[in-house]
Amino acid sequence: MMEYTDRHFRHMCRLISPRMELWSEMVTANAIVNTKEDEEYQRRFLQQSPLENPTILQLGGSDPSSLAEAVKIACDSQSWSGSWNGINLNCGCPSDKVSLKGCFGARLMESPTLVSECVSSMSNAVSSLPPATPKPEISVKCRIGVDSNDSYSDLTNFIESVTANSPVKTFQIHARKAVLDGTFSPVDNRTIPPLKYEYVYGLCRDYPDLEFHLNGGVMSLTQVREVYEGSEEKLKGVMIGRSIVSQPWYWSNLDYVLYGEVPSNGVESRRDLVLKYAEHAEEEEKIEGVKARRRLIRPLVNLFNGEEGGKKWRQKCDEIMQSAGSKRKGYADRDGDHGSLTELLTEALKVMPEEAVERSRFDTFELMLLKEKIIKEQGVEGGGGGIDKVARQAKAVWEAERKERERIMKEEDYGHEDEALQKNG
């Protein structure tokens, strides 16, 4: 997601889940090629933190030679940035800047032959890398169709053309079509065209030798399991976008729910997450300077989204970002009168209820499941006040259930003690 899934957001996500596959924001091939001597730009878009892998680099473009050169530059950067597990060609972005002026993104679905040329060129670039260099897999992310070319047969024609004329075997499918006639905004294209998961399930069924990942409309771990089961467990992955940006801590149980694993990285609460992330942010600020502070703090803004005190937390994050100054008004000293990022974030946590800051992964998941249940039962949609009201209601139910469990456990403990006393007596 452009302007969101930068390397700092990905670092936070890796602290939340050691298992999830991370994706870069889309970077245009021309931008990488034209700034290959610009260390700051290359660092911003191509560097990874040591924790990040597995990570996929997503490229935008429609010129095979530029895409190939961008792949080489990205792979050359692996000596100092960490290796990419895959490099993806975006054929799904509906933005006017991309589909009209740039003639790539979702517009490429109208030209499967060109897509084949692009990914073949990218694959050749990977094959030409030195033997010791890690070889990322090339894949394609696309929609189920474009404008009136939105039938299942149109989609299969695209898949068959690309795979017949290139080495690509992996596709990430956004299960909506893209409307590119100028009547839909990018937001409209994310919400108005109906989701057709059955198209993606059909691809899994009809092309068992290929790998398909589903994207679009999946907002919870419950839905992840539902779509996976809907594919008869043939999907290779489920892609989450805006949900993890809007409620990142909710996904802290992903490893346990999907893989049966409990992360052992020391991040058990949001306090742990903020303080560990602050270590990364301080190291980055030493290198990039205080001007990077806004990018460094932005991943944390939605950490308490929809909860009591969440608005105050966002305001505190905004204050920290503003403490850096600006390009127009001038940047502040790295620490200045404001303190280190660890100190600033520790102070910001004080606006939140202690119980929320210290709430464990599992307690958070229980609470979120209750919230989902209430939303489903009451038909609540959208965000803002409605979701805040549901959050308060879910918390009240959760606290009552927790107290009842504690009461029962105490009674059972007392019962065992009485039995022991009677036997000893």
Q: Which of the residues are catalytic?
A: 93
Q: If you write DSSP's letter for every residue of 306-357 in order, what string do you get?
A: TSTTHHHHHHHHHHHHHTTEETTTEEPPSSTTT--HHHHHHHHGGGS-HHHH
DSSP SS3 for 23? strand
How far apart CA 126 and CA 69 sit, in angstroms, is: 10
Residue 231 has which token pair? 């594919």
Cβ burial of 107 (10 Å; 0-12, 13-18, 19+) is buried
Residue 232 has which token pair? 């008869």
**At 197, phi and psi to the nearest 5?**
-60, -30
Which of these, 219, 141, 201, lies nearest to 173 by C-alpha position?
141
Taking the alpha carbons at both ends of the chain, their separation in whole angstroms is 69
DSSP SS3 for 110? helix
How far apart CA 84 and CA 372 sit, in angstroms, is: 35
Give 326's contacts (C-beta < 8 A, 6+ positions apart): none
Instruction: Give me the amino acid identity at 419.
Output: E
Largest CA distance in the chain: 88
| Lookup result for tokens 């030195």 | 130
Q: 110-134 burial string, b = 16+ CB within 10 Å, else e?
A: bbbebbbbbbbbbbebbeebeeeee
Give 310's contacts (C-beta < 8 A, 6+ positions apart): 304, 388
Instruction: Give me the amino acid identity at 192.
Output: I
